[in-house]
């Protein structure tokens, strides 16, 4: 995912989008050999006004001001040890925020930034941090409930890139990040997933979330069309 940043640097990205009153998201790009690789940051506002930042991305000052108006960043979730790029500079900007990562990712994330906990306490019953089974304790997910329904925030376990073109698009399809339907990409299948059965069962459990409205993934479009069915299809793909 690139060398961790030591100073605030903004890479190309799209607009900051409000999905719901308490959910903001933005998609950025990282330049990789022969391609631009999309990545998503998600911001979730707690009942007390604090903000959980999942997969932090540096933005321009006007958008950072919008985030700060949205709420104070209290938790910085580094969803696995490959997503450390902006973690250190966000912690430097918001020193009071707790850095959170799964237990199996702590050692590598701490090469960049001190990790406060692998078991965050949000003091908010509507948000749940999970270390995903079957990933060697290395991958994080979040379930966030609002009055409109549940949002499942995933990281590398599911790719859902659409309309990719050129050589880069071909490579993303080859890796499984891009397809006509959500998929478990090949790189995490090879390097992150240690127990397919455990992950399959977790996909099935998530499919039963009440009022599941959407799935947000770090690499791809939101899954809003029958998200529970998409999770069951992903589970079957691991059989």
Name the stretches of the chain with pLDDT < 70: 1-2, 34-35
Show Cβ contacts of residue 205 under 8 Å, excluding neighbours closer than 6 positions: none
The CB-side HSE value for 47 (13 A sphere, CA atoms) comes to 9
Report if residue 2 sits inside a domain: no
* Residue at 98 is within a domain: yes
Write the CATH number for 99.
Answer: 3.60.15.10
The answer to whether position 4 is within a domain reads no
20, 43 Cβ separation under 8 angstroms: no
CB 28 within 8 A of CB 57: yes
Strands 17-20 and 72-77, sheet pairing: unpaired
CA distance 28 to 209: 29
pTM of the model: 0.95
Q: What is the pLDDT of residue 20?
A: 98
DSSP reduced 3-state for 112: coil
Number of domains within the chain: 1
> Is 24 within the bounds of a domain?
yes
| 216 within a domain of the structure (yes/no) | yes
8, part of any domain: no
Residue 212 covered by a domain: yes
Rounded CA separation 47/40 (Å): 23
User: What is the span of the domain harbouring residue 198?
Assistant: 17-237
Domain membership flag for residue 84: yes
């Amino acid at each position: 995912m690139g060398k961790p940043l030591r100073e605030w640097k903004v890479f190309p990205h799209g607009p900051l989008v409000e999905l719901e009153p308490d959910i903001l998201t933005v998609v950025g790009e990282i330049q990789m050999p022969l391609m631009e690789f999309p990545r998503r940051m998600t911001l979730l506002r707690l009942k007390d006004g604090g903000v959980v930042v999942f997969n932090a991305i540096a933005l321009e000052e006007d958008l950072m001001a919008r985030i700060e108006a949205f709420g104070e960043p209290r938790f910085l979730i580094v969803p696995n040890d490959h997503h450390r790029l902006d973690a250190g500079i966000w912690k430097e900007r918001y020193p009071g925020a707790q850095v959170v990562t799964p237990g199996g990712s702590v050692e590598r994330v701490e090469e960049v930034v001190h990790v406060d906990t692998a078991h965050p306490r949000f003091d908010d019953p509507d948000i749940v941090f999970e270390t995903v089974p079957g990933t060697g304790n290395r991958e994080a997910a979040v379930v966030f409930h609002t009055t409109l329904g549940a949002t499942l925030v995933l990281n590398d376990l599911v790719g859902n890139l659409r309309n990719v073109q050129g050589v880069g698009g071909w490579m993303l399809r080859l890796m499984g990040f891009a397809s006509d339907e959500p998929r478990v990409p090949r790189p995490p299948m090879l390097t992150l997933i240690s127990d397919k059965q455990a992950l399959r069962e977790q996909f099935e459990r998530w499919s039963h979330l009440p009022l599941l409205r959407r799935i947000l993934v770090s690499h791809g479009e939101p899954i809003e069309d029958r998200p529970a069915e998409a999770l069951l299809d992903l589970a079957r793909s691991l059989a």
